[in-house]
Structure 1
Amino acid sequence: MERPWSLIATCPMGLEAIVARELKDLGYDDVKVENGKIHFTGGPLDVCRTNLWLRTADRVLINMGQFPARTFEELFQGTKSIPWHEWIPADGEFPVEGRSQKSQLSSVPACQGIVKKAVVEQMKENYHIDWFKETGAYFRIEVSLLNDIATITLDTTGASLHKRGYRKLAGKAPLKETMAAALILLSRWNPSRPLVDPCCGTGTLLIEAAMIGWNVAPGLRRSFPSEHWPLISKDDWEDARDEAFDAVNDDIELQLYGSDIDPEAIELARAAAKSAGFGKEIEFKVGPLNRVKPDGEYGIVLTNPPYGERLSEQAEVEKLIRQLGFMMKSLPTWSMFTISPSKQFEHYIGRPADKRRKLFNGNIECQFYQYFGPLPPRPNKDTSTS
């Protein structure tokens, strides 16, 4: 058990490079990227740190084994060869979930049953008992089959990492916290610049920006099933949390402003910001987009406007995008970043984007439209040698 664990951070398609950059910033150099997965290695403390710090990933998994599985017998024997008793105590709860793509073993329920049986048989041989109560710590096992290769993982995260713990109620069509953090990291924003979201809804983009601005680890307010695993000590979790608390820098002044035409959404935004510890740092107002008049220079407009999925809403969406274009004409030193599924976005806004990036907001294919304003002038450096 002393060798490093094979770890996987999962994420939506299109965010792999961002998660990989986050891992490298955390000090992990052996990062390997594939579709929806970023592989790296570490130990118990690294499981704690990455669950607390990753802003754009969905989960942190432990890769327990990978092997060919063209038959149920191969799946059974490959799973049984894994030393489950070293991970799961005799009273542990270990449900099995699965998925299968382009594989001969296409029945997911059958594969789940085989994996469950193999784990039970391996544990029977080592615990010398015939029945497991499954009343203890939670160990979610996943079998993933792709091109007849089975990957067996343990989920250290539990509820997806987008569930930060600060939002008790959600508004309609919310932007996931992980996606919001990704958009902020893709923009040029830093705490020295004003950030405005004129279609802020329940405030997710601005709350995530506040967390980034103050270097608050997004997982600090929640718990994880692996906190109760024998191989990850309470000291590891305590050390990781202490490190995260010490890293918070709440002396930085934030310039975060949000508005929305929906009073109920603004009420939810204020409640979530207060719960996250930013009740006084983010200014929310009720009002239409065409009345938003940002102050300052070299700021950033970052927003996720309504998509108008119903035909009757298309005219309103077009109107909102045109209003964004009018706003930007009055802000020559500002940059704008918008995620939208609209194929006519650039036409409505009145200019082509400087850069576009395909992203998926849930199951909706979108473009992240990026309009770069001038960078703020660099402060004059003191040329004295003293």
Structure 2
Amino acid sequence: MENIKLIATATFGLEAIVKREVESLGFKDIQVENGKVIFSAKLEDIPKANLWLRTADRVLLLVGEFKALSFEELFEKTKALPWGDLISKDGEFTVTGKSIKSKLYSVPDCQAIVKKSVVEKMKQKYNTEWFEETGAKYTIQVALLKDIATLTIDTSGVGLHKRGYRKEAMLAPLKETLAAALVQLSFWTHERVLLDPFCGSGTIAIEAAMIGRNIAPGLNRKFASEEWDIIPEGVWKKERVDAFKAIKHDRELKIYASDMDKRAIDIAKDNAFKAGVDDVIDFKARKFSTINIKNSFGVIITNPPYGERIGEKKQVDELYKQMGREFNDLRTWSKYIITSEENFEKLYGKKAAKKRKLYNGRIKIDYYQYFGPRPKKS
């Protein structure tokens, strides 16, 4: 199987960013749908996609897609797919599922039928009635949407937001993939100052530093497909070596991150150390109103707190008003603020130049973008 289709799943609102990343990696024949980006590749491209995609949730190997209106149809069409060419004889595989607006609405039944069908196909391929399932792990997903069944194998394992550097986090942290997207949606480049005055466990600053230094986000973790026989020997090692060589170790960055919670700063420093970017981020425990900003044409990207309880809500409302007063003086800076507060612009005192709806997990949030002037070219 030389030519394959891969699916980079995406959080709602980030499909265009994931597509841009897929294009930058040199992949072709790209299609964008709600929650996913589909592209042509080869088996040896699986390591590259997993190591380098910053904003995708997972990389799935598309095995087949067909209409299924009955369990018999689901069984037979699943069995017709080349499972034996993908899963090793000793492979351990599980089946997950979901069904939306489909006649086959019972997910457990669909999972059981797909599992049975794959086993039957594997029996034909390997000419055996028993499988030990002691080898590499494979997670098959059957997804039914409006009676169309899409069958995939997850190449990533745990989600791609699990970079490996964040062992600890504060309450309701940003997913690493979303933090990377916030940076890529801004006008920040490695030549400009970046400030996060509400850094929490440091995710935005760390993701920016990894982008600035060109550090592949998957370098410090493992992937399910690393154990697969179908990926040519040595490909994973080569891709990791190439990724290490691509790091811009000598690139100087000016990234500042602060939070009034000293424990958050201690966690952020530890996370930055594990990510290998602690030398380019200046962490400080302080209130945002005490920050002395001397640079021009900088970029603020931040996820300020928001209150759910009545007492907290009043405090947060006042904080947003204070942010508007403080940030208004930074006329040459661009400001990017993410929050679930629907009245943010009114509290902040200024309408955003652009607002983008996103999701952090299942929480709906808005990304308010206030563009400053472009810095003059030196």
SS of equivalent residue, structure 1 residue 253 = coil
Contact kept, 8 Å, 1:261 with 1:288, in 2: the verdict is: yes
Deviations 1:116-163 (A, max 9, x none): 000111111221222222111011000000111100000000000000
Deviations 1:76-119 (A, max 9, x none): 01111112111111110100000000001101001000000001
CA distance in 1, matches of 2:233, 2:321: 54
1:287 corresponds to? 286
CA distance in 2, matches of 1:319, 1:252: 39
Contact kept, 8 Å, 2:168 with 2:201, in 1: the verdict is: no
CA distance in 1, matches of 2:309, 2:11: 25
Q: Give how far 1:277 is off.
A: 0.8
2:34 corresponds to? 35
Q: Give how far 1:45 is off.
A: 2.3
Q: Give how far 1:349 is off.
A: 1.0
Q: How does 1:48-127 map to 2 (within 5 A)?
A: 48-127=47-126
CA distance in 2, matches of 1:177, 1:54: 12
The code of the aligned residue for 2:161 comes to H
SS of equivalent residue, structure 1 residue 39 = strand
Count of residue pairs brought into register by the alignment: 378
CA distance in 2, matches of 1:135, 1:308: 49
Q: How does 1:96-245 map to 2 (within 5 A)?
A: 96-245=95-244
Q: Give how far 1:295 is off.
A: 2.6
CA distance in 2, matches of 1:326, 1:202: 26
CA distance in 2, matches of 1:232, 1:294: 50
SS of equivalent residue, structure 2 residue 111 = helix
1:7 corresponds to? 6
Deviations 1:38-93 (A, max 9, x none): 00010122111110000000011111001111100011011111121111111101
Deviations 1:18-42 (A, max 9, x none): 0001111111231110000100010
SS of equivalent residue, structure 1 residue 32 = strand
Q: Which moved more, 1:359-368 or 1:156-165?
A: 359-368
SS of equivalent residue, structure 2 residue 75 = helix
CA distance in 2, matches of 1:100, 1:349: 42
Q: Give how far 1:362 is off.
A: 1.4
The code of the aligned residue for 1:99 comes to K
Contact kept, 8 Å, 2:201 with 2:264, in 1: the verdict is: yes
Q: Give how far 1:288 is off.
A: 1.4
Contact kept, 8 Å, 1:163 with 1:177, in 2: the verdict is: yes
Q: How does 1:249-268 map to 2 (within 5 A)?
A: 249-268=248-267
Q: Give how far 1:313 is off.
A: 1.4
TM-score, normalization: structure 2? 0.98
Contact kept, 8 Å, 2:28 with 2:40, in 1: the verdict is: no
CA distance in 2, matches of 1:143, 1:186: 32
CA distance in 1, matches of 2:88, 2:50: 22
CA distance in 2, matches of 1:320, 1:175: 20
CA distance in 2, matches of 1:162, 1:294: 32
TM-score, normalization: structure 1? 0.96
Contact kept, 8 Å, 1:227 with 1:233, in 2: the verdict is: no
SS of equivalent residue, structure 2 residue 270 = helix
The code of the aligned residue for 2:301 comes to L
Contact kept, 8 Å, 1:50 with 1:60, in 2: the verdict is: yes
SS of equivalent residue, structure 1 residue 94 = strand
Q: How does 1:338-353 map to 2 (within 5 A)?
A: 338-353=337-352
- Segments of structure 2 that go 5 or more residues without pairing to the other structure are none
Q: Give how far 1:324 is off.
A: 1.6
- Segments of structure 1 that go 5 or more residues without pairing to the other structure are 380-386
CA distance in 2, matches of 1:105, 1:340: 38
1:277 corresponds to? 276
The code of the aligned residue for 1:184 comes to V
Q: Give how far 1:233 is off.
A: 2.2
Q: CA RMSD in A?
A: 1.0
CA distance in 2, matches of 1:230, 1:346: 53
Contact kept, 8 Å, 1:196 with 1:294, in 2: the verdict is: no
Contact kept, 8 Å, 1:289 with 1:323, in 2: the verdict is: no
Q: How does 1:307-322 map to 2 (within 5 A)?
A: 307-322=306-321
CA distance in 1, matches of 2:285, 2:211: 25
1:384 corresponds to? none
Quote the sequence identity (%).
52
Contact kept, 8 Å, 2:195 with 2:257, in 1: the verdict is: yes
Q: Which runs of 4+ in 1 moved over 4 A?
A: none
Q: Give how far 1:278 is off.
A: 1.5
Q: Give how far 1:252 is off.
A: 1.1
Contact kept, 8 Å, 1:227 with 1:234, in 2: the verdict is: no
SS of equivalent residue, structure 2 residue 355 = strand
SS of equivalent residue, structure 1 residue 273 = helix
